[in-house]
Structure 1
Amino acid sequence: MTNTWLIYALGGGWGHLNRALALGRIAAKDRKVTIITNSPYALNINHENCIVNYISEQAGFSATCQQIREIILNTQCDRLIIDTFPRGLGGELADILPQLQAIPRILIHRDINPEYVTAKNLRSFVAQHYDTVIVPGEGQDLPLADLPNVEYTAPWLIRNCEELPDKISVRSHILKVNPDIKTILVCAAGNASELSFFAQLTLLLQQNFPHCAVRILAANCPADIPETLWISHHPGIECLAAADVVVGGAGYNTVYECAAVGVPLVAFAFKRLYDRQAKRANQVYSVRSLAETIAIVKILLNKLEIANNFSRPSYINGAVQAANHIQSY
């Protein structure tokens, strides 16, 4: 069989795609990697030497499920890796996985709502249809973490620490700020419907901290935001590492990327159908209002006598650990 990994990364935001690319780019050094995604962000970013099968988010439920079936059943692979949803985002994998008994099947178990796990009887489904389960840095109190075939890694990151560009260069050429000025970065990596909220927050931060540089990192420039404040750059971790304070949501990438690069995160826990951002927000400076955000940012900035030091962060990239485990399984 061909030396190919097939990664299922359905989900309309950044999270599933970013995890798939974090793993895929490591694996692609030695093999072919194909990623299935419906994230619109896949259209305008570096695919990191992976082959991306993009399914339009406009395709509709039935058409999306049919395309997924065709891709999986017609792709020769020796590893099938499913991110987050054991039965597929729409349940479309339930009748596919039994046909793939000869191929190692790996579930990436990011935290998900326990009610979903119970409603879909995922515990027995995963035990029956997956050879191993990898927890990508989300701890041991996840709904399926007590299964016997679970492996744990550090959080998956799309850049190793030694690959990060130096902070002065990022501030000067990407963020376009004075490297010596304290920098606040608003990370608008959530749903498109939340972009206007982050835009309002950006303008409020600029108003309250006139001696700081404020920028918003987003795929698209929000309405009413001067383009001089907008940054569109992938991977976002390179920008987060160059900030002094990050404000954003409590999604997987934002929380673990900020933790890895040692930058404080002030985060709103947004409601999601499957992801529990409120649980993850316990690891950061969790806020619920704009006024609370301003107060916390002020405290964090006051702790910084000067703009953040420019030493390179040091961390373990769990995507490397996962690639080694999947290959050796």
Structure 2
Amino acid sequence: MIEFKNVSKIYNINKSPFHALTDINLTIPDGAIIGILGKSGAGKSTLLRMVNGLITPSQGEILVDSRALHSLSEREQRFMRHTMGMVFQNFNLFQTKTVYQNIEIALKAIATPKSERKAKIEAVLEQVGLSSKIHSYPQQLSGGEKQRVGIARALITNPKYLLCDEMTSALDPKTAKEILDLLQIIHQQYRLTIIFITHQIEAVMHLCQEVILMEQGRVTHRSTTLDLFLHLDNVATSTYLKPIVYDVPIEHDHVYQLIYVGAILQEKSILSHMIRHFSVDVNIIHAKILLIGKERLGYLYLQILGKNQNQAISYLREQGIIVNSMENTRLLENIDYAN
């Protein structure tokens, strides 16, 4: 388990204090996949580098497996770092070394006997799907293959924690999805704790069980990833959700946003019953289904007209559907996109 207790990081820039992190209190349980989402400069990477001791806090303390990092000796810190694999956005591969040699560096760092290295490297390359590239150089690899080498190098020391810093940001969507699928397989097999830093909400949707939002060095929101998409009336979260859910202005009156999990509308014929029973007219403005992990989440924008409109909406809510009035709140409108 990783714990942040009142952690702040302050840099002096041109004799003025810059608060990179302010009063961070977080607990990351073992075996979780946590996404930390935020714009550039939000403090995500600073927070991640504090976990493995690359950056020390100005205030507060960080505990890994109940041990405060600041209390560890230099030797103990080195040992602690070996329990953490790190994967970077820009791959960090040595261009003059082969795939084998790039991974071997991590084994040398923990003094693995030379006689054991070959079998370990071959096994981890098979796991990441790169057995045929064992003697290739980085310039002979695609971006996705380079990132798989980075993952293999991070896994070779059998870490308990996997720290991922914007690792899919430089990849095309198809390749990024393949990398995220690979991380899911690795997590299922080893039950690693994965901390995934990103500014891409699509990556969080696909991979992460929980999401932490950061802004200007502070934590502004934490929830399950599914819960993030169930509540769009929060400006801080809507900033990220607008491009994903619906970014077309609502130009009609009496429009409602329905949010539901799974196939509840189809399974129970809720809309058909509502129309017949309450004698309301319904126009579909927009509809979308998102996949959040393995859960389907539906968004339906309806114009509901008729004298029994309020009763119809109450009925929808009784069926477990979240109903938001777009008239009253104008959700998702006039909200800036995330950078």
The TM-score by the shorter chain falls in which range? under 0.3
More strand by share: 2
The TM-score with structure 1 as length reference comes to 0.26
Between 1 and 2, higher relative CO (CA 8 Å, sep ≥ 6) is seen in 2
The TM-score with structure 2 as length reference comes to 0.25
Structure showing greater radius of gyration is 2
